[in-house]
Chain A
Amino acid sequence: VEPRRALDDEMLESLEDLLIAADMGVDTALRVTANMAEGRHGRMMSATDIKGLLAAEIARVMEPVARPLPIYPKKPQVVLVVGVNGSGKTTTIGKLASQFKAAGKTVVIAAGDTFRAAAVEQLQVWGQRAGVPVLTAPEGSDPAALAFDAMTRAEADGADLLMIDTAGRLQNRADLMEELAKIVRVIRKKDPDAPHNTILVLDATTGQNALSQVKTFQEMANVSGLVMTKLDGTAKGGVLVALADKFGLPIHAIGVGEQIDDLQPFDPEDFARAVVGLD
């Protein structure tokens, strides 16, 4: 049997450290640990018991934000995908397109990253893999114009979903954030309710900067939900707990690899257990 220890200050501190090491951030780690410990000070518990309680507390915080991408009776439903450089936007679009296709939806993708070298070619490969057409524009052209054309085409085709990829941009680049706002404005000329979803893609290896990413992208592009990628690695993505606390945005899915099927629903319990190191 596992040895038992009293839930004392020293123990709480090491639990805080465990959460901090999972990128939860100091404030959130303190709060989560304190909530877990309430009414249990001095109680004798095994390490597994304590981690189980901690995981339950984290799962409780995450439960309300675990929500799949909502589907609306709109043709086309426009899904705009945004985020900082290299977070996994293009890959996630390929994976999502494949899932929707498998669910019987007709999907069109717009290659809105007209900036980065071979971004279009990369997305075209994903389009082929998913069996979905990819609309492109020449390198250096205006992504808002492409988004507008893509709306026209998706409407004409009667597509269920239009997914728009965008170039990676850091949230402190006002000019690039304005470019994003312009894409949204132009899409709304076609459909005032579009984009129906704006997904911010976060990289699990990112630390506390994810808070600033969500804040600014939400302000500038009305983010409606999150996807976290690269959770197949050693990073735990604990910053999602801080984000759930502060912004309450739904988490639609997680990326767990580079292959087309490596996109899973966000499961609060699995996530919580991974954060505290229980398997």
Chain B
Amino acid sequence: MFENLSERLSGVFDRLTKQGALSEDDVRTAMREVRVALLEADVSLPVARDFIKAVEKKATGAAVTKSVTPGQQVIKIVHDELVHVLSGDEDPGRLKIDNPPAPVLMVGLQGGGKTTTTAKIAKRLKEREGKKVLMASLDVNRPAAMEQLAILGTQIGVDTLPIVKGEDPVAIAKRAKTQASLGGYDVYLLDTAGRLSIDDELMAQVAAVRDVANPRETLLVVDGLTGQDAVTTAENFDARIGITGVVLTRMDGDGRGGAALSMRAITGKPIRFVGLGEKMDALETFEPARIAGRILGMGDIVALVERA
């Protein structure tokens, strides 16, 4: 639906003759196109702005290799910076779940994919790391939320905390902790109700859950199709709850995934996983280069820039 960056830049750079280095003017012209590409990919405005500034600095005066056009050179610089911002320091696939039973808290807006992702992570921990996992639903709001997690638990062969109607989320978290200790579980995952980041009451509730559970990981589950609101969600959840990582869902869609950049830039926390479907094994470790290409609307960019 939108032009990718290469198409945008080819128009701009056709008018330029090949020179030895990118001039300030070239870069400024190019950055206008990069800005639009980022915004069309749903990167949040303040994040796009900062990103452009950083790239502008790196690109000005950069030598243009003979084998590539100035446009390709700019794309490479943009791409490299994207990968740089998107990458965390550690292996995203390794959650901090030593000291059994390790609590993992799942939080996010309504309908983002928390319950599904909770089960996907449980399955992964069980199958890949041989962990004994317990899942508990703290969602007392959404109709049949607890049943949903219980059904998924049965599907993947992972235990769920027995449902006790009328209990509040903090009480359920305490019960999960006790059960996880007594039952010899390595990890227990706490799935919470969806909440708006400006809903004081519900944000206070999940903060109270955090205080009793002391999670080793608090994962913010975010819809990969999220637009400009990514900034607000990331800021508020991180400020109020303190997240340790992000999971991006619905990356099997045709969205450009700009929310990934926003999340990283705002929280500084690693993106751990991406959700790639509704099935229980549709969860992959986050790969910065793949998302970078996608944000730019160029899946095949890696091959292109390797020549540069």
- Quick one: given A85-B250, A116-B278, A233-B229, are A20 and B109 in contact (CB under 8 Å)? no
Nearest Cβ in chain A — how far from B109, in angstroms? Answer: 6
What residue in chain A is nearest B46 (Cβ atoms)? A21
The answer to whether B151 touches A118 (Cβ under 8 A) is yes
Sampled A-B contacts (11; CB under 8 Å): A22-B228, A86-B112, A116-B148, A116-B278, A122-B145, A125-B144, A170-B250, A205-B229, A209-B255, A233-B198, A258-B142
The answer to whether A208 touches B40 (Cβ under 8 A) is yes
Within 8 A of A (CB), among B1-50: 1-2, 36, 39-42, 44-45
What residue in chain B is nearest A206 (Cβ atoms)? B225
- Is B244's CB within 8 Å of the partner chain A? no
The answer to whether B42 touches A207 (Cβ under 8 A) is yes
Within 8 A of B (CB), among A118-163: 118, 121-122, 124-126
The answer to whether A208 touches B256 (Cβ under 8 A) is yes
- Quick one: given A26-B39, A84-B250, A118-B151, are A234 and B45 in contact (CB under 8 Å)? no
- Quick one: given A86-B112, A170-B252, A234-B198, are A23 and B147 in contact (CB under 8 Å)? no
| Bound-complex Cα distance A26 to B223 (A) | 21
Residue from B2, B112, B236 within 8 A of A208 (CB atoms): B2
Taking CB atoms, residues of chain A closer than 8 Å to B1 are 208, 211-212, 215
| Bound-complex Cα distance A230 to B41 (A) | 21
Nearest Cβ in chain A — how far from B53, in angstroms? Answer: 15
Taking CB atoms, residues of chain B closer than 8 Å to A212 are 1, 254-255
User: Considering residues A22, A86, A116, A212, which has the most beta carbons from chain B within 10 angstroms of its beta carbon?
Assistant: A86
- Quick one: given A122-B142, A212-B1, are A258 and B110 in contact (CB under 8 Å)? yes
Taking CB atoms, residues of chain A closer than 8 Å to B44 are 21
Interface size of B as a range: 35 or more
- Is B141's CB within 8 Å of the partner chain A? yes
- Quick one: given A117-B148, A117-B151, are A207 and B254 in contact (CB under 8 Å)? no
The answer to whether A170 touches B253 (Cβ under 8 A) is yes
Residue from B39, B198, B223, B236 within 8 A of A20 (CB atoms): B39
- Quick one: given A208-B42, A212-B1, are A234 and B148 in contact (CB under 8 Å)? no
Nearest Cβ in chain B — how far from A83, in angstroms? Answer: 11
Digit string of A1-45 for contact with B (CB within 8 Å is 1, else 0)? 000000000000000010011110110000000000000000000
Taking CB atoms, residues of chain A closer than 8 Å to B255 are 207-209, 212
The answer to whether B141 touches A258 (Cβ under 8 A) is yes
Nearest Cβ in chain A — how far from B184, in angstroms? Answer: 27
Digit string of B133-145 for contact with A (CB within 8 Å is 1, else 0)? 0000000011111
- Quick one: given A20-B39, A21-B45, A84-B250, are A234 and B229 in contact (CB under 8 Å)? yes
Nearest Cβ in chain A — how far from B186, in angstroms? Answer: 24
The answer to whether A206 touches B151 (Cβ under 8 A) is no
Taking CB atoms, residues of chain A closer than 8 Å to B41 are 208
| Bound-complex Cα distance A26 to B33 (A) | 11
- CB contacts between A and B, total, < 8 Å: 139
Query: Footprint of A on B, CB under 8 Å?
Result: 1-2, 36, 39-42, 44-45, 109-113, 141-145, 147-148, 150-152, 155, 196-198, 223, 225-229, 232-233, 236, 250, 252-256, 258-259, 278
The answer to whether A207 touches B228 (Cβ under 8 A) is yes
Taking CB atoms, residues of chain B closer than 8 Å to A230 are 109-111, 196
What residue in chain A is nearest B252 (Cβ atoms)? A170
Residue from B45, B152, B226, B258 within 8 A of A205 (CB atoms): B226
| Bound-complex Cα distance A205 to B223 (A) | 9
The answer to whether B223 touches A86 (Cβ under 8 A) is yes
Within 8 A of B (CB), among A73-130: 84-88, 115-118, 121-122, 124-126
Taking CB atoms, residues of chain B closer than 8 Å to A203 are 111, 223, 225
Could you list 7 further interchain pairs (A-B, Cβ under 8 angstroms) beyond the known A85-B113, A258-B110? A25-B39, A26-B40, A117-B147, A122-B142, A208-B42, A208-B227, A233-B229
- Quick one: given A17-B45, A25-B40, A207-B255, are A121 and B229 in contact (CB under 8 Å)? no
Taking CB atoms, residues of chain B closer than 8 Å to A204 are 229
| Bound-complex Cα distance A148 to B155 (A) | 29
Taking CB atoms, residues of chain B closer than 8 Å to A122 are 142-145, 148
| Bound-complex Cα distance A115 to B155 (A) | 13
The answer to whether A172 touches B253 (Cβ under 8 A) is yes
Residue from B196, B229, B253 within 8 A of A209 (CB atoms): B253
Taking CB atoms, residues of chain A closer than 8 Å to B36 are 26
- Is A166's CB within 8 Å of the partner chain B? no
Nearest Cβ in chain A — how far from B138, in angstroms? Answer: 16
